[in-house]
Structure 1
Amino acid sequence: MSTPHTSMTAVPLTPDLLRGALDLEHTAHGVLPHRLPARARAQCADGQLAIVESQPSGVRLVFRTRATAVELDALATKRVYPGAPPRPDGVYDLLVDGRPAGQATVAGGNTLTIDLATGAAEHRPGPVGTVRFDGLAAGEKDVEIWLPHNETTELVELRADAPVEPMPDRGRKVWLHHGSSISHGSDAASPSTTWPALAASLGGVELINLGLGGSALLDPFTARAIRDTPADLISLKIGINVVNADLMRLRAFGPAVHGFLDTVREGHPTAPLLVVSPILCPIHEDTPGPCAPDLSALGEGRLRFVATGDPAEVARGKLTLGVIREELARIVRERAAEDPNLYYLDGRELYGEADSAELPLPDELHPDAATHRRIGERFAGLAFAGTGAFTDRPA
């Protein structure tokens, strides 16, 4: 960190400087971006959901300025899992005129200690930290500060050494994506290199990322949030969390998918809507959930997940990824007869058998940074190019 310039001026943290958040909560410290609206949050007391929706994946400060130095005071909440490898500090990505221009982390912050075996959690308050980007080129430019995708971040104060104004509308389409921790960005290197962020950059669209780690569970309040959010393009990546939470059986899954799609269509009756089935995940291809941490690996300081269900129970309606892909393909095929803007993508086209052999999932569940890049590039090629669901089509 450099010594702050005496000419730095505070910039009000107004909603027009933030993109990717559905709600802004005013706290004792400043502003806390949320990726689900207050009404949705009030309808679910699940602690996991509360953590992940407040982690600002895809949320970024966006503005136009001549400043050569920018500072952001932030209060992070860092997670600690006893017995597991320490988590790195969340990364802030700086983009100038759309190009990577720097990275930083924030020291201090609150800590949330979570026991993986019991789920018990302890919160301890900590200090506000500062991230500083300086040495920026003189002249007017578009600046984006992508907030850490995996670290709850309260924005305390933004400062710059020149006036800041909201970035003008660039006429880009808005892509809203919903999915699991993989879409959220688990184990990606940084917030602008999660697979949805990479795909959005390649597709030339504005991203709203509703990837909710462990919480892509066909919740009606999430469907209503998507319904009520302005968007031009929508994708729903469905399946892995339903299996690894062992949430429902086949009898409930099909109607839940229909209900979710019905709700989304109430607000977006003709928008291109792409349903994406799970990427390959060998532990759950033919074995139902629930998924659980491997305690023997945890005892060795490694984080690894195992599927604990019985494949014999599939005959009685338990869900596997194979079952879910068949059901999603059937539902989309049947609905598409009356909904010409509904599409299906088999997630194994994003990450399949050959990819698994080359880039195995390190913890058996989440892709690493290189795999995020591959999935993002694949999705951009399949959805935003050629005859993909998100390409412009004749009226």
Structure 2
Amino acid sequence: MHTLSPIPADLIHGAVEIEHTDAGLLPQRLPARALAQCPDVQLALAAAQPSGVRVAFRTAATSVELLVLPTKRRYGKMAPRPDGIYDLLVDGRLIRQASAPGGKLLDIDMLSGATSVRPGEPQLLRFSELPAGDKTVEIWLPHDETTELVSMRADAPLAPIAATGQRRWLHHGSSISQGSNAVHPTGIWPAVAASLAGVDLLNLGFGGNALLDPFTARTIRDLPADLISLKLGINLVNTDLMRVRAFGPAVHGFLDTIREGRHRTTPLLVISPTWCPIHETTAGPTMFDGKAMEQGRLLFRAMGNDAERRQGKLTLGVIREQLQKIVAQRAGADPNIYYLDGRALYGADDNARLPLPDGLHPDAATHRLIGERFQAHAFVDSFFAATTPNNSRCQV
């Protein structure tokens, strides 16, 4: 057996930084300097969950073992969350799935936000009877379960993947972009779209934290990418973070920062929110439904009221109108910026047949639908269709 301990960094794709822990390596999707500017537990948790992160290599191995230390989450009286799923792909095709049932346990009080961690032991994942011959193997880590990588073994050598010439697509968004309510990591809508389009995904979707933070804009600015998309709006309503007066300048500032340096002409797509009935005309904040929680169900409620729009509060309708105006204004001087109405990906008619299970996040079938539609809109019909690599890439 060939053992890698620690796993070489050049086999880890989709992470912005790799943190060294007592157990091994922790892929992070925001740099430490960014996290240091915002001591928010939810942001740190989302950034450490490896949505879009995969261990990828060339090998002739037919047996691969991955030793990991996962961190499970438990929310008060809610039923335990299902174990995260690891997807193994061979030459781009999903052929194996596995879960690590043990590990650490993070207890979260959903009302107070208090947390505590119970230690746990590493868990071994075995993927056997893989196809013979030289091949590309990717192990996609769970999109919503913090995973420390301890070591890896195989019955043949593992080598880094040579440059493929694929375009790198950097996407930033909310929990829907991170993959909330999707079942497995290659089933989240950005992974679906990336697979269909044949692009290299770097997913900066952060649950609850697509909030126009300057450190996120600087992170995007400094990362290599051939294509950039930003799905903005829902978290600003969820948190009731700002009013219309602050929203416009904040969006402009976010876009100005990204356009500094290497991304002055990189195709940039701004996506407004998908359909969400509770916030179409009703402002935030968004709160958990206490009665539903007592019954062991997760459900979200809008706590604002329709009249608050006159006070400048944000709703999804207001955000769509503002984003469309901002992009149109900037397009006069920036021919590489585009706008996509999120309702083209998931609209009112879709909600009637594929309702949001918790009132906020799509289910697995809807993730697939959104990914397919995004690929058609962005990579086939327009926006990114004719773009060629900008030769600024390096491994991330």
Q: Could you tell me the percent identity over the aligned residues?
A: 63
| Structure 2 partner of 1:134 | 128
- Residue equivalent to 2:212: 218
Whichever residue aligns with residue 38 of structure 1, its letter is A
Among candidates 127, 141, 151, match of residue 147 of structure 1: 141
Aligned to 2:337: 342
Q: Which residue of 2 aligns with 1:3?
A: none
**Match of 2:117, SS?**
strand
Aligned partner of 1:167 among 134, 149, 161: 161
Match of 1:64 among 46, 52, 58: 58
Distance across 2 between alignment mates of 1:44 and 1:13: 29
Distance 1:331 1:90 in 2: 39
Structure-2 separation of matches of 1:376 and 1:173: 17
Cα deviation, residue 121, structure 1: 1.2
Out of 313, 318, 326, the position equivalent to 1:323 is 318
Partner residue in 2 for 1:231: 225
Could you tell me how far apart the structure 2 residues matched to 1:288 and 1:356 are? Answer: 19
For residues 81 and 9 of structure 1, what CA distance do their matches in structure 2 show?
37
How many residues matched? 388
Task: Give the secondary-structure state (helix, strand or coil) at the position aligned to 1:221.
Answer: helix
Matches within 5 A, 1:184-195: 184-195=178-189
Q: Which digits, 9 at most, give the CA deviation of each residue in 1:328-374, with x for residues without a partner?
A: 00000000011000000000000001100000000000000000000
Are 2:270 and 1:275 aligned? yes
2:274 partner letter: I
The offset of 1:259, in angstroms, is 0.3
- Tell me the secondary structure at the aligned position of residue 123 of structure 1: strand
Match of 2:27 in 1: 33
Check the 8 A contact 1:198/1:377 in 2, yes or no.
Answer: yes
Contact 2:196 / 2:372 at 8 angstroms: preserved in 1? Answer: yes
Alpha-carbon separation, structure 1, partners of 2:330 and 2:4: 52
Is this contact kept in 2: 1:11–1:160, CA < 8 A? no
- In 2, distance between residues paired with 1:120 and 1:10? 37
Unpaired runs of 5+ in structure 1?
Answer: 1-6
Cα offsets for 1:157-214 (capped at 9, x unmatched)? 0111100100111110000000000000001010011000000001110000000000
Matches within 5 A, 1:71-86: 71-86=65-80
Contact 2:2 2:157 in 1 (8 A): no
Q: Distance in 2 between matches of 1:54 and 1:21?
A: 9
For the Cα contact (< 8 Å) 1:9–1:162, is it kept in 2? no
CA distance in 1 between counterparts of 2:387 and 2:265 reads 13
Contact 2:19–2:26 (Cα < 8 Å) also in 1: yes
The AA in structure 2 aligned to 1:297 is A
Structure-2 change in CA distance of 1:356 and 1:77 (3 Å): same
Partners of 1:9 and 1:134 lie apart in 2 by 16
Give me the whole-angstrom Cα distance separating, in 2, the residues matched to 1:270 and 1:338.
Answer: 11
- Mapped to 2, the partners of 1:84 and 1:366 lie a distance apart of 17
Taking the aligned partners of 1:393 and 1:73, their CA distance within structure 2 comes to: 39
Which residue does 1:352 correspond to in 2? 347
> How do 1:83-98 residues align onto structure 2 when only pairs under 5 Å count?
83-98=77-92
Given residue 278 of structure 2, which amino acid in structure 1 is its aligned partner? I
Aligned CA distance change for structure 1 residues 12 and 139 (closer, same or farther; 3 Å): farther
TM-score (norm 1): 0.97
Write the letter of the residue equivalent to 2:106.
L
Q: Is the 8 A contact 1:11 1:164 kept in 2?
A: no
- Could you tell me which amino acid in structure 2 is paired with residue 285 of structure 1? E
Partner of 2:191: 197
TM-score (norm 2): 0.96
Separation (CA, whole Å) in 1 of partners of 2:25 and 2:361 = 30
SS of the residue 2:253 aligns to: helix
Q: Residues of 1 paired with 2:242 and 2:348: CA distance?
A: 27
Instruction: Say which SS state the counterpart of residue 385 (structure 1) adopts.
Output: helix
1:244 aligns with 2:238: yes
SS in 1 for 2:110: coil
How far has the Cα of 1:393 moved from its partner? 5.5
**How much has 1:14 moved relative to structure 2?**
1.6
CA contact (8 A) 1:55 1:153 kept: yes
**Contact residue 173 and residue 230 of structure 2 kept, 8 A:** yes
Moved beyond 3 Å, runs of 4+: none
Separation of aligned partners in 1, 2:118 and 2:239? 28
CA distance in 1, matches of 2:387, 2:196: 19
Larger displacement relative to structure 2 (8-17 or 59-68): 8-17
1:15 to 6, 9, 12: 9
Q: CA deviation at 1:108?
A: 1.1
Could you say which residue in structure 2 is the equivalent of 1:109?
103
The RMSD of aligned alpha carbons is 1.2
Q: 1:107 touches 1:130 (CA, 8 Å); kept in 2?
A: no
Who is 2:303 aligned against? 308
Structure 1: how far apart are the matches of 2:198 and 2:129?
Answer: 27
Q: Is the partner of 1:155 in helix, strand or coil?
A: strand
In the TM superposition, residue 107 of structure 1 has moved relative to its aligned partner by 2.1
Letter paired with 1:59: V
Question: Partners of 1:23 and 1:203 in 2: how far apart?
Answer: 25
